[in-house]
């Protein structure tokens, strides 16, 4: 089995206003398959993820939406 490359994704998230919001987003993203780590920057309203290449960005969007927030941009 070939090794899958890990890459970094940056997600801008609308609606995070407090530490509880950030914790909810972090928990939701950590549950997505192929997400290896999540770092939330509440001040900049973004999450930096370490993920396996080829991750389904729709699953990231759904996880964030299910937590009550909206992804503005995925880089």
- Residue 12: per-residue pLDDT: 96
Q: Is residue 39 part of a domain?
A: yes
- Residue 55: per-residue pLDDT: 92
What's the number of domains the chain is made of? Answer: 1
Which letter, b or e, does each residue of 38-67 get, where b requires 16 or more Cβ atoms within 10 Å of its Cβ?
A: bebebeebbbebebeeebeeeebeebbeeb
- Residue 2: per-residue pLDDT: 59
Q: Is residue 1 part of a domain?
A: no
Digits of tens for pLDDT over the chain (75 positions)? 457 899 999 999 999 999 999 999 999 999 999 999 999 999 999 999 999 999 999 999 999 999 999 999 999
- Residue 3: per-residue pLDDT: 76
Q: Is residue 33 part of a domain?
A: yes
Neighbouring C-alpha atoms within 13 Å toward the C-beta of 36: 11
**Backbone dihedral angles phi then psi of residue 73, each to the nearest 5 degrees:** -160, 145
In sequence order, the 6+-apart residues with CB closer than 8 A to the CB of 43 are none
Domain of residue 38, CATH code: 3.30.70.100
What the block records as the tokens of 45 is 């309203």
Q: Domain range holding 49?
A: 6-74
């Amino acid at each position: 089995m070939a090794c899958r490359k890990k890459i970094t994704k940056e997600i801008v998230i609308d609606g995070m206003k407090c530490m509880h919001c950030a914790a909810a987003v972090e928990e939701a993203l950590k549950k997505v398959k192929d997400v290896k780590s999540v770092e939330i920057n509440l001040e900049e309203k973004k999450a930096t993820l370490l993920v396996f290449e080829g991750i389904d960005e729709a699953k990231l969007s759904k996880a964030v939406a299910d937590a009550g927030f909206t992804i503005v941009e995925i880089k």
